[in-house]
Structure 1
Amino acid sequence: MSDEIRVVSWNAQGRAHDILAEFAPHVLLRQGLTGADAEGDKALWAEANALGGLVPFMTTLTARRSRRSGVMIDPRLFEVTARTDNDLPWKPICHVQVRRRGLPRTLHLVSAHLTHHDPDLRMLESRRLTVIADRGHTALIGIDAASYPHRTADEISLRLRWDAVEDRVHYQHRTVVDRHGSRVSDTRPSTILTGGRRPVFTDLAHHAGTVLGQDGSLAATASLGRTDQGPPQRTDIAVHTPDLTPALLSLKVIDTQAVREHSDHAVLVARYDLATVDRVLSTAR
């Protein structure tokens, strides 16, 4: 049995087990599961089986939600206690509750894809995600945030200058009007989830980059193959409740040619110390 828990979050359309198998995830937080429901969820199960027999869950399909989110769990490490969709106006959130065998505390695992075209809906979705941490719950969430980090000083991506962005639709989707009447990058989901003096969640990449000294964790994650949306930015994030922060060993952004052949999003790979996670989950709440 491994002495760590590997958590992978990725937005990639279609099956991508050949890339994901390299990371041997115990938890996979997937966005972009296009077509995975066909023939009785055949593609979903094929990916889960190719990754060592993970148990897969996926959001319910509706006409406007073809790119579904999913969570896959290693049953050797976790037992599933509940599974729900948190329904929202555009995309539902896949929410699975698990426990380590013999330990009392529930771990909430979530995969979410925020609305790509509406900043106001992204605010609603972000606030809905904070509910998962209510009542002292322990949670870990992988998100395609379709928006930008609010602590810009720590980011290492090239600055996004909207006057140089050619994609006019992208400009409308990803900017908001500030109090001075200017169009600026939408950072509100990041502020809601990880901002303030007592944030609801910790941004894994920010903690890894600024506290653990892992500069590469703050690398760009999206628009990797586009030239009309400005330089690539860090729009995919993983967050967890602060009680899990002592267990985090690393957060890596995987942006290889093989990854780019599957998606214009990088892969996020987080490693947690298993013994520390178990200590967190040993206390009932």
Structure 2
Amino acid sequence: MTTVADEIRVASWNVEHNGFDPDGSDERRHRAYEVMARLEPHIVLRQEETNAWHNHGRIRHQEAQRLGLTSCLSPMSPDSRTPAAVLYDPALFTLVEEITWSTGIGKPMTIPVVRMKETSQPLSLASVHLCPWSPQIRAIEASRLTVLGEPGKYALFGGDMNSYPHRTGAEKVALPNWSDPALTDAAHFQHRTVERDGKRVSDTVPDEILSGAGKPVFTELGHLAGTVRHQPGALDPTASLWRRDQGPRQRIDRLYCTPNLSGALISLEVVADNEVTAVSDHALLLARFDRAAMQRALTPVSETPEENRA
């Protein structure tokens, strides 16, 4: 059995408007830091970092200092004032390079490529917030993420996918029933559905692109934990924890990795307790990886000294 010291803990969380309320209060932001700090994460994937670039990045640095991590923040754009961030433990990971993707549509994304201590292969980390209003843009964004899964590469990413899992048989809740009169948000219907066979259905395209059963580029960790590992709660829905006009909660927040890292997964937990619900409309995802197994995965056998092979 692994201990906390043997683990790599990865948290992913969309903190609604970075914890800022319309009246300017940011009490929720500080509560979010406390929630995350108690988890002692080595990697944090954050979405909706509202105001994080203001005042020379003061809020960005506050978060990094509170968590004891290094922050890599995506740029803002005319269409998005809520950048995403990746935070990582500088005692465990060394930065190799930062790559910024900006296509002019959707949200720009900055991807830190790091090297884990005692490993040889670079690891790409990404905090993902797919376009909330366009299925077409989400499909493009998901397709671009497949670059991180090209042969020989290692990647770990996740966040708010604003779309649904494509393998619905194992899910705890059914996809939205769009004919339900309780779903009164008409814009949400347009944002979250695509046309198939002449009908409007829930958008599962990004998950199909990323982890489609035919030739999956990535492993979707919630599905792995909930089905193969039979872990209770791994497939719990994540959002919206607050709204009721968009139907039942859905599992729109997900974590993915290249298959060469999936064997190191210990567990995935959807945290939606009272503390989390008081802070954001999204649950927090916490994945635990076996540290030694991840180190082995990131150092192929051909590169391992002969005396260490066993």
Give yes or no for TM over 0.5.
yes
RMSD: 1.4
Q: Which of 247, 260, 264 is residue 247 of structure 1 equivalent to?
A: 264
Q: Does 1:274 align with 2:288?
A: no
Q: How much has 1:159 moved relative to structure 2?
A: 4.4
Aligned partners of 1:47, 1:57: CA distance in 2, in Å? 11
Structure 1 counterpart of 2:234, from 203, 217, 222: 217
- Residue 169 in structure 1 maps to residue 187 in structure 2: yes
Task: Tell which deviates more after alignment, 132-141 or 273-282.
Answer: 132-141
Deviations 1:67-97 (A, max 9, x none): 1111001011111111121113120123111
After superposition, the C-alpha distances for 1:25-65 in whole angstroms (9 at most, x for unaligned) are 100011110011111111111011111x2000101122222
Aligned pairs for 1:144-163 (under 5 A) are 144-163=160-179
Which residue pairs with 1:76 in the alignment? 91
Offset of 1:158 from its aligned partner?
A: 4.4
Number of residue-to-residue matches in the alignment = 283
1:10·1:268 contact (CA, 8 Å) conserved in 2?
yes
Task: Between 113-122 and 133-142, report the one with greater CA deviation.
Answer: 133-142
Q: 2:9 aligns with which of 6, 10, 25?
A: 6
Comparing 15-24 with 40-49, greater Cα deviation is found at 15-24
Contact 1:37/1:43 (<8 A) preserved:
yes
Instruction: State how far apart, in whole Å, the 2-side matches of 1:186 and 1:32 are.
Output: 22
Q: TM-score, normalised by structure 2?
A: 0.88
**Structure 1 position 103, deviation (Å):** 2.1
* Alignment deviations for residues 104-136 of structure 1 (CA, whole Å, 9 cap, x no partner): 101111111000000000000000000111132
The two structures have a TM-score, normalised by structure 1, of 0.96
Alignment of 1:57-68 (within 5 A): 57-68=72-83
C-alpha displacement of 1:24: 0.9
Give the match's secondary structure for 2:121. Answer: coil
Alignment check: 8 A CA contact 1:94 1:112 kept:
no
Aligned-pair distance for 1:22? Answer: 1.7
What is residue 56 of structure 1 aligned with on the other side?
A: 71
Q: Distance in 1 between matches of 2:160 and 2:201?
A: 19
C-alpha separation between the residues in 1 aligned to 2:231 and 2:110? 29
Contact 1:203 1:238 in 2 (8 A): yes
Q: 1:262: which partner in 2?
A: 279
Q: Secondary structure at the match of 1:218?
A: coil
> Aligned AA for 1:172?
Q
Equivalent position amino acid for 1:207 in 2:
L
Q: Distance in 2 between matches of 1:220 and 1:22?
A: 22
Sequence identity percentage:
42
SS at match of 2:151: helix
Question: 1:83·1:95 contact (CA, 8 Å) conserved in 2?
Answer: yes
Query: Residue 252 of structure 1 contacts residue 269 of structure 1 at CA under 8 Å; is this kept in 2?
Result: yes
Is 1:131 paired with 2:147? yes
| Cross-structure match for 1:194 | 211
| Partners of 1:251 and 1:118 in 2: CA distance | 29
Once the two structures are overlaid, the 10-residue window that deviates more, 86-95 or 113-122, is 86-95
Tell me, what secondary structure is at the counterpart of 1:268?
Answer: strand
Provide the C-alpha distance between the structure 1 equivalents of 2:204 and 2:175, rounded to a whole number of angstroms. Answer: 14
> Cα distance, 1:198 vs. partner?
2.4
